[in-house]
Chain A
Amino acid sequence: MEKWVLFVKGILLFYIAGNYVQTEEVHYSWVMVSFFVYIALNVALYLVGRLSRMFLLLGSIILIVVGSIHGYALLLLLLPFSVCEVFDGKAPHVIVLLVVSLLPLFFFDIEPFLYSASAAGSCLLWKMNTTYYCKLVANEQQLDQLRSHVQRLNVQVHENEEDRKQSQYMSRLEERNRISQGIHDHIGHSMTGALIQMEAAKTLMMVDQHKAKELLDNAITISKEGIEDIRLTLKNMKPPIEQLGVQRLKQKLDAFTRNTHIKTSFVFSGNLDVISALQWKVISENVTEALTNALKYGNVTEIAVSITVYNKLIKVVVKDNGVGATKLIKGLGIVGMEERAALLHGTVIIDGSDGFSVTLLLPHERS
């Protein structure tokens, strides 16, 4: 856009120069000096800071006025552009700009039509320039915002993935721990017991057959129990994710009640096993967000949280008894909830018609 400004100034200069050559006016030196100083000043505009720029612009206005009085009157055509430039980014209404640039008409002797045309052209161009510039800046800003937003989301995706791996690893560790504990505590003991009994039976075999048989029977019973133990240990291998998730959510709600004196209730039904660690994370984050919202806006005394697992779907509802909202405006919080849900192919329904309720629907992960 600066190129345009320079281009138009150049055209004006050429026009003035052309006209000057055809006239018989003489103030040769004045005109030449005005020309060169004007060019110098206007090129310098782009090399200096804001304050110096103002001085340069004032300088070129004075130059134009003086030049047109002592040299060649048509130099005044350059004036409107410089006046516009003084306003810089804070462009007033284009009419105001035009009126200001037309003022010299009353003080100087110049062809009114030509001057008006030049003033109008300059003002329009300048207005276009600034509008364009403002839009450009706004767009850039928006682009930056979006970029940082994308960045944030990427980080979040990454974190979630990490989290999932982490919790998978943790639950495996816990599991291994539990199994080795179980083997040590039960199976190891019964096997040792059985072994001792059998050793004794072997020794007694020749001496007291009756006693030996008793010992062997014992060993058999102990072995059977051992096998049962193995079966139980293996059967109880259910991952603790479910208990952990419910437990955490309960603690969170309890803490919330303690801090805010808002009553909370929590119910769940269905097979919670299907909820994965990552889903628990999203559920927990969204419930937290919903609680915060209720606290901020709702005039709330009670909040009910429920988790229901259906055949293909997990439904989490956080509902309060507050004033609700007839008109919903999506703030960052709600958008955040939606984004987290969308990450797991779920949706969020917000309803403010009866209290305020936030429903999170997540499909099962394996389907």
Chain B
Amino acid sequence: MNVLELKNVTKKFGDFIAVDQMNLFIKEGEIFGFLGSNGAGKSTTINLISSLLRLSAGDIYLLGKNIAQHRRFAKMNIGIVPQDIAIYEELSAYENVRFFAGLYGLRGTELKKHSEEALVFVGLGDKMNALPKTFSGGMKRRLNIACAIAHRPKLIIMDEPTVGIDPQSRKYILQSVRQLNEMGCTIIYTTHYMEEVEEICSRIAIVDHGKIIAEGTKEQLTNIITDTKEVWIEVKAIGSFDAEVVKQMKGVNSVRVEEHVVQIISQAEVTNLHEILHYMISQSLEIVSLKEQAPNLESVFLTLTGRNLRD
């Protein structure tokens, strides 16, 4: 079942086209990564999904319903963690969550219970009555997340939730994203940090100039560029090394020896490094260094767009 579906979604600001006929679907239980450099149109797309901006053209369906016609339904089933922290410094953590959950449509005892649970979930259970102005950046981010999840939405959208925070909080946030996912939430995660996407996302779309230029699992995306990986092994002396033996190993495409360096190109999805090293050690070759280059999302992005993610 598709939790979210975008059909020919377009957003124009005057002559500028921020989102250009985007087509996309997100299945239930996915952590969907939205990857793109600054200004690629990620936040605009998210604002369109959350009805903060009006579509110039196209349709967005949430759980099969067009969000333009089912605004209340959309509001109750989407939770947004905005890029800029949106909390009231003068209200306590609990009051903040209660306020936002109330906006999403919760009432009464349910509101109270869910608000508390959300705070406990993000690890702020003992800080319920503290004011956010006493919080660190990471804690504010977590509070921001609690505000978005208290009403138990089906779809949680996180717009760069780890910008400018300490490594510990980042780890905590990534962990809670996974936890939310295990609890049945579908998550859209936008970022320009490649490592985060590689770590948690089950499917990824690369966005550039308002278009999705590639989409799939990490493996599918890297496979667009190449289906091989390279290993360089430097040894002290080449001795009795026989390239033909390595060539026979599974997945190996080619072996080249240059002075003290052996270059092995093999299929990306095969793991054969163990076997290769085992052979080299059995020939009593002394290994000085080892370098592996497998395609990653960074190189996919660079190849497709010609630019680095953080330009």
Q: Is the CB of B225 within 8 A of A357?
A: no
A359 touches B15 (CB 8 A): no
**With known contacts A329-B15, A349-B211, A349-B213, A359–B305 Cβ distance under 8 A:** yes
- CB pair A349–B209 under 8 Å, yes or no, is yes
Q: Identify the closest chain B residue to A351 (Cβ).
A: B209
B-side contacts of A347, CB under 8 Å: 211, 213
A361 within 8 A of B: yes
Q: Which residues in A have their C-beta under 8 angstroms from that of B17?
A: 328, 330
Kindly identify which residue among B15, B208, B223, B306 contacts A317, using a CB–CB cutoff of 8 Å: B306
Q: Which of A310, A313, A359 is within 8 Å of B306, CB to CB?
A: A359
- Residue among B16, B223, B224, B307 with most chain A CB within 10 A: B224
Of all chain B residues, the one with the shortest Cβ separation from A270 is: B226
Determine which of B15, B209, B213 lies in contact with A361 in the assembled complex, contact meaning CB atoms within 8 Å.
B213
Does B223 lie within 8 Å of A311, measured CB to CB? yes
Cβ of B213 and Cβ of A310 under 8 Å apart? no
> Does residue B166 face the partner (Cβ distance < 8 Å to A)?
no
The distance from the CB of A340 to the nearest CB of chain B, in whole angstroms, is 15
Does residue B110 face the partner (Cβ distance < 8 Å to A)?
no
Q: Which residues of B contact A317 (CB under 8 A)?
A: 306
Q: Is the interface of A mostly helix, strand, loop or mixed?
A: strand
Query: A249 vs B294: C-alpha distance in the bound complex, in angstroms?
Result: 33
B201-231 interface mask toward A, CB cutoff 8 Å, 1 = contact, 0 = none? 0000000110101000000000111110000
Contacts of A12 in B (CB 8 A): none
Q: Complex formed: what's the CA distance from A329 to B13 in Å? A: 11
Interface residue count for A (Cβ, 8 Å)?
A: 19
Contact B304–A311 (Cβ < 8 Å): no
Other-chain contact of B223, A312, A350, A359 (Cβ < 8 Å): A312
Q: Provide the bound-state CA to CA distance between A269 and B87, in Å.
A: 52
Tell me the minimal C-beta distance from A245 to chain B in angstroms.
21
A327 at the interface (CB under 8 A from B): yes
Contact residues of B between 50 and 85, Cβ < 8 Å to A:
none
Asked if B136 lies at the interface with its beta carbon under 8 angstroms from chain A, I say no
- Residues of A close to B227: CB separation below 8 A: 311
Q: Are B223 and A349 in contact (CB under 8 A)?
A: no
- Say whether, besides A310-B225, A310-B226, A328-B17, A315 and B303 are in contact (CB < 8 Å): yes
CA distance A351 to B311 in the complex (A): 13
What chain A residues lie within 8 Å of B223 (beta carbons)? 311-312
Instruction: Name the B residues within 8 Å of A351 (CB-CB).
Output: 209, 305-307
Mask: chain B, 272-311; 1 = CB below 8 Å from A; 0 = not: 0000000000000000000000000000000111110000
In the assembly, what is the distance between CA of A310 and CA of B225, in Å? Answer: 5
Interface residues of B (CB under 8 A from A): 15-17, 208-209, 211, 213, 223-227, 303-307
| 18 CB < 8 A contacts A-B | A308-B303, A310-B226, A310-B303, A311-B223, A311-B224, A313-B225, A315-B304, A327-B16, A328-B209, A330-B17, A347-B213, A349-B208, A349-B211, A350-B209, A351-B305, A357-B306, A361-B213, A361-B304
